[in-house]
Amino acid sequence: MTLQAIDTFAATRESSSSPLAAMPIAVTLVESVSAEALRKRAAQVLREVVGLDCAECLYVEGSGRWLGRDGDEVQFDCSDFSHPYAHVIRSGKALTLSVGDARTRLDHAGFQAQVVHLGAKKRLQVRPLRAKDGEQEWLGALLMVGEGSTFSALDDDPGMAAFEELLCQLWARLSREQGERHRSRALRDSLVKLNDGARRQALADQLSEDLLGQSTAMQTLRRQVVRAAETNLAVLLQGETGTGKDRVARALHQLSGRAKGPFMAINCAAIPEALLESELFGHAKGAFSGADHAQQGLISQADGGTLFLDEIGDMPLALQAKLLRVLESGRYRPLGASEERCADLRLVAATHQPLREHIRAQHFRADLYYRLGQFPLSLPPLAERRDDIAQLAQSFISDFCAREQRDDMGITPSALRLLQRREYPGNVRELKNLIDYACAMTPQGADIDAYVLPGEQESDAQASPNSQVNGTAYSLPNDIDDLRQTLRDVESAIIRQRLMHFGGNRAQAAASLGLPKRTLAHKCQLLELDTK
């Protein structure tokens, strides 16, 4: 259709003396690389060649409800007849009136702003622009302002008709091409996002081998770690003690672009204040008594890699100011040195302390807090991820067996239930220590049973009044509403305590309770104290 419009334009040029039929005009329009550029060139041609005071192409946006102007946020509702464009779009016919009449009859603020600087005696004409193909696609409207005689000549000018047809055909083609390019770009963007999403999910799945747990909280944390590792922002890990902040810090390093660089870590609470600055910044020879040789600090050693500052909340205020300067400028000065040095590192800090409260108490610098927390990560306590306890326990059992060269062992359902019910102020670290102890107390070839778990009987005893049966302590609930179940629980507690006392030896435990060994084994099975 565009070639046909060009042929029509060329034929008009041969049979008409209209200035709009000049071949350079067609070339100018055809060379437009976008619909917006075409509209601007067409308006410029009309102003310069025809001598119009104003010429402008408005476009119908995607939904067909609005007309827009290039480079302007003003929009014209196609159903609002307070401007002339709605009349033209609805009727499909050109509208001609004086600028004075337009000001009086049409009170749309955006339209009034278009014509406010024009003379009232000038004529205004709005023409509908529509591609004359099978779809009769609406493109927009053409606004022209000039002398009345000019429009009389244009109405009978075949060059204007050819110009308008060429404009519409080129506009429709460029709009379709732009739409296709936009769809292609959107498809490419969506594929990139899809690929990025798949890549990030693969990395998060890879992290599940180190950051254990399939709970929602842990899946969310692993995804956040992947996103944080893609940046070079300082990361602040916040969470209760024992939640695995050191593991998360190492995971951030391994997934980052600095993975081939060093990973240096220090616990700010474990080193005396007098030595911490030297450990971080290093010192020159003779910087203080006993400094017989120069020593690199962790900041220097972490150059090109990651520096992990655990328990950052315990860092002295004076040292906080020096650390802030390193983060902001990448420059530092070792103790006793005369020159500054540079370090390119990524900082990961961790704390279990409420830093905001420390800021209010003036024990921690607010500016350092915000600089450290460019990418904050909160680690969930074990109480919020109890579904992960079974997986964590089995992993810790496997680690113990490999470390101590023990045969593989499992854990009984009753022991797992006890683990699920426990409180863990020490979180995952406490669970690991608990499992290590239980593994050590479990006889070779047996599985971890409930009676070897430390602290259970003591906590039960503290919860309610104690009684003694043959020297064995057990607890009585305060609100008994099921005597049979209560007797079952008491019997279970007594047997667990007696088994623990004899290191799991059932023969000795049975003899101490005055029971045959077979009867004790049967009770252990009924009370789910053992899977055997």
Residue ending a domain, choose from 380, 401, 428: 380
Asked, for residue 416, whether it belongs to a domain, the answer is no
CA-based nearest residue to 476, from 489, 496, 484, 529: 489
Per-residue pLDDT tens digits for 316-367: 998 998 899 888 888 888 887 778 888 889 999 999 999 999 999 999 999 9
Number of domains in the chain: 3
Q: Residue 363 in contact with residue 399, Cβ under 8 Å?
A: no
Does the residue 523 lie in any domain? yes
Identify whether 74 is part of a domain: yes
Phi (first) and psi of residue 362, to 5 degrees: 60, 35
Are residues 32 and 105 located together in one domain of the fold? Answer: yes
pLDDT at 119 over 80: yes
Domain that includes residue 37, residue range: 2-180
Report pTM: 0.54
| Whole-number Å distance between alpha carbons of 507 and 524 | 13
Final residue in a domain of this structure, among 380, 411, 436: 380
Element (H, E) at 135: none
Same-domain status, 240 and 329: yes
pLDDT (0 to 100) of residue 378:
94
Q: Please measure the distance between the N-terminal and C-terminal CA atoms of the chain and give it in whole angstroms.
A: 85
**Model confidence pLDDT, tens digit, residues 260-317:** 999 999 998 888 887 888 888 887 876 676 667 778 889 989 999 999 999 999 999 9
How many CB atoms are located within 10 Å of the residue 187 CB?
10
Residue 496: pLDDT band (50, 70, 90) is confident
Residue 135: pLDDT over 60: no
Boundary-marking domain end, from 380, 395, 427? 380
Q: Are residues 19 and 150 in the same domain?
A: yes
| Co-location of 15 and 122 in the same domain | yes
372 & 488 share domain: no
The verdict on 301 and 374 lying in the same domain is: yes
Judge if 6 and 148 occupy the same domain. Answer: yes
List all residues 6 or more positions away from 137 whose beta carbon is below 8 Å from its beta carbon.
130, 131, 172
Instruction: Report strand pairing: 54-60 vs 138-146.
Output: antiparallel
Indicate whether 192 belongs to any domain.
no
**What is the DSSP track for 76-129?**
EETT-TTSHHHHHHHH-S-EEEEHHHHHHH---HHHHHHHTTS-TTSEEEEEEE
In a domain, 422, yes or no: no
Give me the mean pLDDT over the 98-117 stretch: 88
Whether residues 376 and 522 share a domain: the answer is: no
Whether residue 443 lies inside any domain: the answer is no
Q: Are residues 371 and 253 in the same domain?
A: yes
Same-domain pairing of 27 and 127? yes
